[in-house]
Amino acid sequence: MADANGTLIKMEGVKKVFYTDEVETHALEEIHLEIKKGQYISIAGPSGCGKSTLLSILGLLDSPSGGSYWLNGQPVAELSTSERTRIRNREIGFIFQAFNLIGDLTVYENVELPLTYRGSGAAERKQKVQNALERVGMAHRLRHYPSQLSGGQQQRVAVARALVGDPLILMADEPTGNLDSKNGEAVMELLRDLHRNGATICMVTHDQRYANFADRSIHLFDGRITEETQEAHASA
């Protein structure tokens, strides 16, 4: 059903409840969402409204408490842990607010990581890593350690790491949150370029300027989608 009309992600009535010390937090309520291949969608809303929670469920880092979620036509609820791990590795690319590069690994090794976990051959890895780093303009820093890079450069490397495995979709949680505006804009430019070249992107941000980079903006409030806007320059 999904591929026919290009639907990559479909959520119906997804809920998420956290139980902590007898307090129930309804982080998400009745989320209905469809994301098509090639879309660039931004998720915005006030702090604590459930943006990260939604992204973590979309990215298979967490499971919903209720409702249904199909990824690429496959019902996610039925997946085993190892299948979820496999899908995270092959079909989803993550970009984090805190970059999350591993300090003991070089730029090259950080980017290589998803391919390593996939079990790709060395030659293939080398080629793909090189490619991904070229796409983010960091190919000249292969042997550097993250601590030797600026924040913007680190996030570019993180984007390369998300890209390297040719995922179906990139998930970014406030990718500019730790960057100054100049570096932030550079990263957003990078994402827009990727999008132009066909990448599907799902990005959390509360910066309205950056939300405008996307085709579609979703607004969350108290765990519900309150508003959805389509940008004029909707994708092809």
Partner 1 sequence: MGILWLDLRHALRQLRHRPGFTAITVLTLALGIGATTAIFSVVYGVLLRPLSYPKPEQIVRLWEVDPAGHRMNFAEPNFVDLRAASNSFAAITETGGDEVTVTGGAAPTRVNAAVVSQDFFKVLGVSPVAGRGFSPEDQRQGAAPVLLVSHAYWQQYLGGAPDLSRFKLVADNHVFSVIGVMPQNFSFPDNTALWVPRDFFPPDTSRTAHNWVVFGRLTDRASLPQARAELDAIAHRLKQQYGQDTDMSAASIIRLQDAMTAQVRPALFLLLGAVGFLLLVACANVANLLLAQSAARQRELAIRAALGADRHTLVRQFLVESFVLCGISGALGVIAARWGVDLLVALAPKDLPRLDSVSTNLPVLFFVLCLTILLSVALGIFTAVRATSGDVREALAEGGRQQISGPRSQRFGRTIVVAQLATTMILLVGAGLLGRSLLRVLSVDPGFRTEHIVTMDLAFPALDHALPELPSDAEKAARVHEIDELFARLRGVPGVESVAGGDTLPLVDNSVSNGGFLILRPGQQPQSIEDFEKLGHNPSITGYADYCVASDDYFRVLGIPLLRGRFFDGRDTLDAPHAALINEALARKRWPNEDPLGKTIEFGNMDGDLRLLTIVGVVGDARNRSLETRPDPTIYVDYRQRPMRTTSFIVVVRTAQPPASVIAAAREILRDIDPNLPPHFQTFAQVFASSLASRRFNLMLVGAFAAAALLLAAAGIYGVMAYSVARRTRELGVRIALGATAGDVLRLVLGQGLGTTAIGVAIGVAGSLALTGMIRSLLFGVSAFDPLTLAAVTLLLAAVSLFACWIPARRATRVDPLEALRYE
Ligand X SMILES: Nc1ncnc2c1ncn2[C@@H]1O[C@H](COP(=O)(O)OP(=O)(O)OP(=O)(O)O)[C@@H](O)[C@H]1O
State the minimum distance, in angstroms, from the CB of residue 186 to Mg ion.
22
With CB under 8 A, what is the number of residues at the site for partner 1?
Answer: 39
Q: Which stretch binds Mg ion (CB under 5 A): 27-35, 46-54, 139-147, 228-236?
A: 46-54
CA distance 196 to 95: 18
Amino acid identity for residue 127 in this structure: Q
Does the footprint of Mg ion cover residue 106 (CB under 5 A)? no
- Applying CB under 6 A, what is the total number of residues that bind ligand X? 11
Alpha carbons 160 and 164: distance in angstroms, whole number: 6
Per-residue burial over 160-177, b = 16 or more CB atoms within 10 Å of its CB, e = otherwise: bbbbbbebbbbbbbbbbe
Residue whose pair of structure tokens reads 């292969």 in the numeric block: 142
Looking at the Cβ atoms of 118 and 177, the one nearer to Mg ion is 177
Q: In terms of Cα–Cα distance, which of 155, 168, 127 is closest to 3?
A: 168
Residue 56 in contact with partner 1, rule: CB under 8 A: yes
Interaction of residue 47 with ligand X, rule CB under 6 A: yes
Task: Name the nearest CA neighbour of 136 among 185, 191, 92, 178.
Answer: 191
User: How far, CA to CA in Å, does 181 sit from each of 69, 148, 185?
Assistant: 35, 20, 6
> Which listed residue (53, 110, 154, 217) binds ligand X by CB under 6 A?
53
Task: Note whether 52 binds Mg ion by CB under 5 A.
Answer: yes
Q: Which residues lie near ligand X (CB under 6 A)?
A: 18, 20, 25, 27, 47-53
Q: Which residues lie near Mg ion (CB under 5 A)?
A: 52
Q: Which residues lie near partner 1 (CB under 8 A)?
A: 52, 55-56, 59, 61-62, 81-82, 85-86, 88-90, 94, 96-105, 113-114, 117-118, 145-147, 151, 154, 161, 165, 173-174, 177-178
